[in-house]
Amino acid sequence: MGFAVVVAFLALFMLGFPVVYAILLPSIAYVLIEGLPLGLLAQRITYALDSFPLVAVPLFIFVGNLMNLSGITDRIFRFAYTLVGRIPGGLAQVNVFGSLIFSGMSGAALADIGGLGRIEIDAMKKRGFDASFAGAVTAASATLGPIFPPSIPLIVYGSITSVSIVQLLVAGIMPALVCTLMLMVTVFIVAVRHKHPRADRWPTAREVVRDFLPALPAIVAPALMIAGMTAGAFTPTEAAAITAVYVIVISAVFYRELSVEHLWNSAVLTARSSSAILIIVAAAALFGWILAVEQVPQTFAAALLTLSKDPMVLLIIANFIFFIAGMFLDSTTATLLLVPIIAPPLVLAGVDPVQLGIVTIFNLMVGLVTPPMGLSLFLVSDIAKVSLRQLLRALLPFYVPLLSTLAILTFAKDFTLWLPRLIAQ
């Protein structure tokens, strides 16, 4: 019966049903067919949302929305342009560098695109960049957010696997920095080849300091948050709350641009975005409970371990599964549906759970910029006003650094784990 539920989900999804309905309808049908009490539906859904770590999700979304509305993203963009705008690629380099900084406050790829990405695309088009190239850089650099602290996908992953969220967030720092460097090198090569515009001169020290000081409060927030979590001063959820309060304070006191309207609009946008994520969390929890009752994970684990018991081989297989899933499902849905099934046999075979978490989430982030259903592609296409074909053509060079980062995460275990181990000491 469990596999029938899975087949029903896949059939409804392929028929175009919204993913929540594709998950819920087979689950409800299972409860009715098995004669289980209907109160079970409410119980499982409520239990899934009664999670302290998940409180961080709306808090970080609120932070990103408030930054957009209070002008913090503009200051980050201005500082990034002053710092790296002279490098070949100009604003495209700013796009990548700014995404790394902004990701430390929003924690989500789509928040990066909808916030700073919109500003960057418009600015690049005004400076003479091709719209498709501007969109491609924005889509590629938005993958940095979900592996650089804070990270909503890593928080969701940790909450369903009981892996230390602090360890996951710290483990994402080095991969994000290396991916940033490789993306900037790719932009450099493309910019030199196509003679893209850049700043007329290098900034003076006075100009760097002038634009750095206004952006400093936003830039130091991730460092303060990571230091607090690793020191044991607060949990990731408490860090999210502290970050939200911090952004409110700097917006009101330091920048003096906070208004009641900004707070209200940020809250409304947060409620909409959070509900879209958490309703999937609730539906997937019910779906996962049914699979657990029917012992689908155990059956899958046994089948997977018959293929190989070598941790690296299993991790490569998981890479393919998550990469393909990322082409069709959003990261939250894919994490909630697949991780409880795939993670246990891999951890049992010897794959480090923290490494698996980073590999899983980055795989799904690459899926966001991979056809046919990559959500980042559609959002960027709409913002840049270009066709998907044009966007994909411009995006091709950026798959090299993204897939190279994924290969490093997969085959160089110590690269991912050395920083969490160092901090743990």
Q: What is the pLDDT of residues 270-293, one digit of tens each?
A: 888 778 778 888 888 888 888 878
Least confident of 34-38, 102-106, 240-244, 411-415: 102-106
pLDDT tens-digit readout, 152-174: 788 889 888 888 888 898 898 89
pLDDT at 106 over 60: no
* Most confident region among 83-92, 162-171, 324-333, 366-375 by mean pLDDT: 162-171
pLDDT at 104 over 70: no
pLDDT at 298 over 80: no
* Most confident region among 107-111, 115-119, 182-186, 333-337 by mean pLDDT: 182-186
Taking residues 198-218, what's their average pLDDT?
82
Taking residues 357-382, what's their average pLDDT?
83
In Å, the largest CA–CA distance within the chain is 73
Q: Could you tell me the pLDDT band of residue 181, with boundaries at 50, 70 and 90?
A: very high
Contact 291, 341 (CB under 8 A): yes
Please give the sequence-ordered ranges of beta strands (E in DSSP) within 196-354, or none if there are none.
none
Contact 96, 184 (CB under 8 A): yes
Distance spanning both ends of the chain, measured CA to CA: 47
Give pTM, 2 decimals: 0.81
Least confident of 44-53, 67-76, 183-192, 267-276: 67-76
pLDDT, position 124:
81
Higher pLDDT, 33 or 219: 33
Instruction: Give the H or E element holding residue 21.
Output: helix 19-33
Q: Could you tell me the pLDDT band of residue 93, with boundaries at 50, 70 and 90?
A: confident
pLDDT, position 41:
84
Query: What are the DSSP calls for 69-110, one per residue?
Result: HHTHHHHHHHHHHHHHTTSTTTHHHHHHHHHHHHHHHH--HH
Q: Give the CA dihedral 150, 336, 276, 373, nearest 10 degrees.
A: 100
pLDDT at 57 over 90: no
pLDDT, position 102:
64
Higher pLDDT, 154 or 376: 154
